[in-house]
A = this chain, B = another copy of it.
């Protein structure tokens, strides 16, 4: 159905999936990497750098903004985007805990 049954999962499971999903497209990965490199970036820069159409970049930026991972500062007709450090840190705690799960060394099953 194209629609995940989120109601049968825990809030934490849905939260992990939501964060992971936004990283699940290389354009959004590239946008975030550039924002980390430059610590400030105009939408047009991202369009030039990445090579997708302006509406496409704008749409990806919106998804990152909706999750709170980036914030945009309007400067005249331009918008300067950058990482929201605080939210990035709390996202990292959630996703990091998931990735850092581990198994006892010697209990292999297969």
Contacts and interface: CB of A to CB of B under 8 A. Distances in A.
Q: How many identical subunits does the complex contain?
A: 2
A59 to B, nearest CB: 13
Interface size class of A (residues with CB under 8 A): 35 or more
Contacts of A91: 99
A28 to B, nearest CB: 8
Contacts of A25: 4, 17, 21
Nearest to A6: B26
A17 B39 contact: no
Interface of A: 4-6, 8-10, 13-14, 16-18, 20-30, 32-33, 36, 39-40, 50-52, 71-73, 80-83, 85, 91-92, 95-96, 98-104, 107-110
